[in-house]
Amino acid sequence: MSNIKTPAEQELMRAAGRVAARTLRDMANEIAPGVKTRDLDEFAAERMRALGGRSAFLGYRNYPRHTCISINDEVVHGLAGERAIQSGDLVSVDVGVTVEGYIGDNATTVPVGDCDKNTQKLVEVTEQSLYAAISCAVAGNRVRDISQAVQDLVEGNGFSVVREFVGHGVGRTVHEEPQVPNHVDTRRKSPELVPGMTLAIEPMVNAGRAAVKTLKDGWTVVTRDGKPSAHFEHTVLIRDGEPEILTWPDGKK
């Protein structure tokens, strides 16, 4: 099985991406003080079903929830539970949906109520870094060019890039080759981008230091220094020219 998608597969990826994006959009709109993360997760599961998909995460490597909801110092893979969202929280939601065997994967971060200025800036920089990365996701470039774009913007603003977790190819499975790190390691080879690749580009940015740890539940990743972290993600189709963002709620972008 190749990670290079045929035009027919690209069409299926588009459909999956659209469902993932709509689910994420609707889920983000539900985020409000007092909402329990478990209810948010259930809501997303229902939206996926209504839109003709199902969670790509549930059961993948035994992941126990439909989505990831990571609050404040939680970086990624936060597990939904009885925790209620509070005003001032920074909530990241990550949604992966399977539609007809193909997967769309995207994430966003929403500040709830009044966040402090630095947190606000963290969210803005992380989102900008995602789009900076996407603009580098052109056939002929290397994965490293994507990583460089993220790292330069993030570190230029005084934040740090999570090293241990990386973006990835996505298609018929949640994870395909190649890995898409958000930082540059010149000791490693960096694959060339080829038209037809579909990548989940996902900068994870910490307000404080880059170090993270995984909690005892085996999933939740938190910052070691306890400072907040933001996460944005799109599934992107590599083309010769401008890349196509597949996880867009209404048609092409």
Partner 1 sequence: MAGREEISLTGRVVAAISGAACRVELKNGHRMVAHTTRKNSLDLTRLNPGDELILAASPFDFSKARIVRKKTERKSDYEGSRIGQETL
Binding stretches for partner 1 (CB under 8 A): 57, 60, 63, 68, 76-77, 94, 96, 105, 143, 163-168, 174-175, 177-179, 181, 185, 188-191, 200, 202, 204, 231, 233
> Smallest distance, Å, CB 218 to partner 1?
12
Q: 110 with 31: CB under 8 angstroms?
A: yes
> Smallest distance, Å, CB 204 to partner 1?
7
> Smallest distance, Å, CB 72 to partner 1?
18
> Smallest distance, Å, CB 239 to partner 1?
19
Comparison of 132 and 184: residue with beta carbon closer to partner 1: 184
Q: 131 with 182: CB under 8 angstroms?
A: no
Comparison of 46 and 164: residue with beta carbon closer to partner 1: 164
> Smallest distance, Å, CB 129 to partner 1?
15
Rounded CA gap, 1 and 169, in Å?
A: 13
Of 153, 123, 109, 118, the C-alpha closest to 135 is 153
SS3 string of 63-92?
Answer: CCCCCEEEECCEEECCCCCCCECCCCCEEE
Comparison of 110 and 212: residue with beta carbon closer to partner 1: 212
Comparison of 164 and 217: residue with beta carbon closer to partner 1: 164
Q: 184 with 144: CB under 8 angstroms?
A: yes
The helix/strand/coil state of 214 is strand
> Smallest distance, Å, CB 114 to partner 1?
28
Comparison of 112 and 180: residue with beta carbon closer to partner 1: 180
- Tell me which H or E stretch contains 179: strand 176-180
The helix/strand/coil state of 190 is coil
Comparison of 14 and 66: residue with beta carbon closer to partner 1: 66
Question: Which strand ranges, in their side-by-side order, compose the sheet holding 204-206?
Answer: 160-161, 204-206, 229-231
